[in-house]
Amino acid sequence: MNFDLIERKASMLINEIGLSSIPIPVEEIARRKNLIIRPFDFGEDISGALIIEGDKGVIGFNPNDPKVRQRFTIAHEIGHYVLHRPLSNLFFDQTSNFSIQFRSNSKSKDYLKERQANVFAAALLMPKNLLIAHTRNEKIDLSDERSLKVLARMFNVSSTAMAIRISNLNLIL
């Protein structure tokens, strides 16, 4: 599945639910997709998990993570639900030096699924059209930490997530 298709799927979900302002309410999206959200202390290394049974699922997130990380984790798990549900029923997301890894036997396929879920989460939390509207269609200087932090606060994401999203959308100077 290519990243443009993932971007479109996130956009379709936002439109389906009728969202047009930021920050995007990931908890509301989860509820509308029959997903229950529960805090669960996984320890330091795991940010979240998704367990699927039929058309319903439970997202567990680490309550010890910063709020912006919790939001990204929930959006990431929604991504697994939307993109990978027919393929698997259990996902664990492990953090290690800010990279996300999927624990399973097949590393390459699982790494791709994790990247896809990250792309989905970024597109869901920082929709391209809303990001462009809030930057007034101007390119962003990633070395301008103040502007980056302002945008990150508006979308309720981390500055790192915002910088990656701006870079991936080629909205940089």
Domain residue limits, the chain? 3-126
Q: How many CB atoms lie within 10 A of CB 36?
A: 12
**Which amino acid makes up residue 106?**
S
What confidence category does residue 97 fall into, taking pLDDT thresholds of 50, 70 and 90?
very low
What confidence category does residue 106 fall into, taking pLDDT thresholds of 50, 70 and 90?
very low
Q: Considering the chain, what is the average pLDDT of its residues?
A: 87
At residue 10, the 3 state secondary structure works out as helix
- 62: DSSP letter: -
What confidence category does residue 87 fall into, taking pLDDT thresholds of 50, 70 and 90?
low
pLDDT, greater one: 91 or 170: 170
Find residue 102's DSSP bridge partners.
93
Q: Which two tokens stand for residue 104?
A: 């399973």
Q: Calculate what percentage of the chain has a pLDDT beyond 70.
A: 86
Q: Looking at residue 89, what is its pLDDT?
A: 57
Q: Looking at residue 52, what is its pLDDT?
A: 87
Find residue 59's DSSP bridge partners.
37, 50
Report whether 95 contacts 49 (CB < 8 A): no
Q: Looking at residue 136, what is its pLDDT?
A: 82
Mean pLDDT across the stretch 96-115? 56
Determine the Cα–Cα distance for residues 162 and 151; give it in Å rounded to an integer.
7
Q: What pTM was computed for the model?
A: 0.87
CATH number of 3-126: 1.10.10.2910
Q: pLDDT tens for residues 7-66?
A: 999 999 999 999 889 999 999 999 999 999 999 988 888 899 999 887 789 999 999 999
Q: How many CB atoms lie within 10 A of CB 78?
A: 25
- Burial class (CB within 10 angstroms; exposed 0-12, middle 13-18, buried 19+) of 28: exposed
Mean pLDDT across the stretch 121-136? 94
